């Protein structure tokens, strides 16, 4: 081989090796950069103020209406821990055995005027002082709320984000069980200071027009509360309290009343599901005297089970002076017409018994009508009592003893005897007179 050609080959080989080395080095640098990219992104996404939480507690009384007396006589609205068993038919009220104060991580509490205590069955129908609840529009409620512990997730106060999930069931009972539904496994999500509490809702369809109707409705995930302003607090905060949106929220096609101080609604997805159950009007302004009690109560979350309760003391529900739909009690049972002032003694027994006719049933009570000007009041006489046969009438003395009411017959017999004696005297011959010689 010529020296010139050998030198050329050595120069070409060196150039090739240099190129390959350059390519390998470039590939290593690029590969290293690509391999390190996830670590850099993870560092970027990780917030120094984000805190993982385990044991968060959700507390919510829903609203005053859910602790109120219902409009049907002797029925109430209340909360129960766990899932109350399906009664199988409508128009029934639940027994005491169906209610639970605690189930899993769920508790039902009652405000006693000073602090929250474990609720009791009897406390479902009394106010904070222990007095029986008044009418639905009176403003006295049992003051209940539910709590769910063991929530898991994270909270980042600085970023204004959070997500916490709970595992548990709450049953919301209205009319003592004539209507009810379950809230299951709520989830709180907050982004940029706005949040929402969602849950799976399941219940039973009922009807006011047909109280006996009752049908299970499949569960559906809905929004229980929209939270337009959530302040998660500073890093290290124990929790927060937020007011759910209601006033000014509208729903279509359900006859909502708007334009007053209590006009509003729960979230539309929740109301739509309640409409499937036949109870949508409980969750928006419908023109009822209990509209002020439908406004949601504040919702609170503690980031740790041992943390303080951030929820404020509950306030008394607002009241309205005029009751437009009070509870109407059933009419009283008609009573027997009272006896007349002058008593009538029992009839004297006769050879052939005489049965007194049965008295007519009492007429249904008639509501009084206010008289108009110029009307002359007309008083109906009391109904005459049934009388025995005329041959059995007796009279009553002032002392209460009875004497016969038949006319006396002995004067007629005495007069007749006198007339008969006089006639006989006229027919008998008189005594003879002696003659004088």
Q: How many domains does the chain have?
A: 1
Output the pLDDT for position 410: 43
Output the pLDDT for position 233: 86
Output the pLDDT for position 48: 82
Are 388 and 352 in contact by the 8 Å Cβ rule? The answer is no
Output the pLDDT for position 417: 54
**SS3 (DSSP) at 40:** helix
Most confidently modeled of 272-286, 303-317, 412-426?
A: 272-286
Q: What does 76-134 look like in DSSP terms, one character per residue?
A: B-EEEES-PPP-SSSS----GGG--SEETTEEEEEE-SSSEEE--TGGGGB-TTSPBP-
% residues pLDDT > 70 (the chain): 61
Q: Tell me the C-alpha distance between 150 and 289, whole Å.
A: 38
Is 38 within the bounds of a domain?
no
Is 102 within the bounds of a domain?
yes
Q: Tell me the C-alpha distance between 58 and 143, whole Å.
A: 17
Q: How many CA atoms, within 13 angstroms, populate the side-chain half-sphere of residue 200?
A: 11
Q: What is the pLDDT of residues 30-58, one digit of tens each?
A: 344 434 333 323 333 567 889 999 999 99
Q: Tell me the C-alpha distance between 169 and 82, whole Å.
A: 5
Compute the average pLDDT of residues 115-143: 95
Q: Which of 245-254, 278-287, 303-312 has the lowest mean pLDDT?
A: 303-312
Q: Which of 15-24, 110-119, 201-210, 280-289 has the lowest mean pLDDT?
A: 15-24
Q: Tell me the C-alpha distance between 138 and 320, whole Å.
A: 8
Q: What is the pLDDT of residues 150-204, one digit of tens each?
A: 999 999 998 999 999 999 999 999 999 999 999 999 999 999 999 999 999 999 9
Buried-state track 373-400, b at ≥16 Cβ within 10 A, e below 16: eeeeeeeeeeeeeeebeeeeeeeeeeee
Q: Tell me the C-alpha distance between 211 and 217, whole Å.
A: 17
Q: What is the dihedral of CA 100, 103, 105, 108, to 10 degrees?
A: 0
Question: How many residues are present in the chain?
Answer: 437
Q: Tell me the C-alpha distance between 235 and 46, whole Å.
A: 15
Using the Cα atoms of residue 417, residue 418, residue 423 and residue 428 in order, give the sign of their dihedral: positive
Q: Tell me the C-alpha distance between 298 and 58, whole Å.
A: 11
- CA 340 from centroid of its chain's CA atoms: 48
Is 56 within the bounds of a domain?
yes
Q: In which domain, by residue range, is 105 found?
A: 51-245+297-302
Q: Tell me the C-alpha distance between 24 and 9, whole Å.
A: 22
Compute the average pLDDT of residues 277-304: 95
Is 122 within the bounds of a domain?
yes
Compute the average pLDDT of residues 257-274: 95
Q: How many CA atoms, within 13 angstroms, populate the side-chain half-sphere of residue 363?
A: 5
pLDDT band of residue 236 (cuts 50, 70, 90) is confident
pLDDT at 375 over 50: no
Is 387 within the bounds of a domain?
no
Output the pLDDT for position 428: 54
- CA 266 from centroid of its chain's CA atoms: 17
Is 187 within the bounds of a domain?
yes
Specify burial of residue 419 (Cβ count, 10 A radius: 0-12, 13-18, 19+): exposed
pTM of the model: 0.64
pLDDT band of residue 305 (cuts 50, 70, 90) is confident
Is 191 within the bounds of a domain?
yes
Are 365 and 332 in contact by the 8 Å Cβ rule? The answer is yes
Are 299 and 239 in contact by the 8 Å Cβ rule? The answer is no
DSSP label at residue 320: -
Give the contacts of 359 (CB within 8 A, at least 6 positions apart).
337, 385, 386
Q: What is the pLDDT of residues 12-25, one digit of tens each?
A: 444 444 444 443 44
Is 166 within the bounds of a domain?
yes
């Amino acid at each position: 081989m010529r020296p010139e050609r050998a030198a050329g080959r050595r120069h070409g080989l060196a150039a090739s090796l240099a190129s390959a080395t350059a390519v390998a080095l470039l590939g290593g640098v690029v590969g290293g950069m690509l391999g390190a990219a996830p670590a850099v992104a993870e560092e970027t996404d990780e917030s120094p103020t984000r805190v993982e939480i385990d044991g968060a507690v959700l507390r919510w009384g829903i609203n005053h209406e859910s602790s109120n007396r219902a409009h049907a006589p002797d029925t109430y609205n209340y909360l129960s821990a766990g899932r109350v068993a399906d009664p199988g038919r409508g128009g029934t009220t639940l027994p005491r055995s169906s209610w639970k104060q605690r189930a899993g991580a769920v508790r039902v509490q009652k405000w006693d005027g000073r602090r929250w205590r474990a609720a009791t069955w009897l406390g479902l129908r009394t106010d904070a002082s222990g007095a029986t609840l008044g009418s639905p529009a009176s403003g006295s409620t049992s003051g209940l709320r539910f709590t769910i512990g063991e929530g898991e997730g994270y909270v980042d106060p600085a970023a204004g984000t959070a997500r916490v999930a709970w595992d548990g069931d709450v049953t919301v009972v209205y009319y003592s069980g004539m209507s009810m539904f379950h809230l299951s496994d709520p989830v709180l999500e907050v982004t940029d200071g706005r949040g929402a509490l969602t849950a799976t809702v399941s219940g039973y369809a009922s009807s006011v027009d047909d109280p006996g109707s009752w049908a299970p409705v499949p569960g559906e995930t809905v929004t229980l509360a929209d939270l337009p302003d959530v302040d998660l607090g500073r890093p290290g905060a124990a929790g927060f309290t937020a007011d759910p949106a209601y006033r000014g929220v509208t729903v279509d096609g359900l006859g909502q009343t708007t334009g007053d101080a209590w006009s509003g609604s729960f979230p539309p997805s929740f109301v739509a599901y309640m409409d499937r159950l036949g109870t949508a009007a409980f969750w928006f302004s419908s023109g009822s005297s209990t509209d002020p009690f439908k406004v949601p109560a504040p919702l609170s979350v503690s980031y740790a089970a041992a943390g303080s309760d951030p929820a404020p003391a509950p306030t008394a529900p607002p009241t309205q002076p005029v009751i437009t739909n009070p509870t109407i009690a059933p009419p009283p049972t008609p009573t027997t017409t009272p006896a007349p002032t002058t008593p009538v003694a029992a009839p004297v027994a006769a050879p052939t018994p005489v049965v007194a006719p049965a008295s007519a049933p009492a007429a249904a009570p008639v509501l009084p009508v206010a008289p108009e000007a110029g009307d002359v009041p007309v008083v109906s006489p009391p109904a005459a009592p049934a009388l025995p046969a005329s041959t059995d009438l007796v009279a009553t003395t002032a002392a209460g003893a009875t004497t016969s009411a038949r006319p006396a017959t002995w004067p007629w017999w005495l007069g007749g005897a006198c007339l008969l004696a006089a006639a006989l005297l006229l027919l008998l011959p008189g005594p003879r007179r002696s003659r004088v010689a």
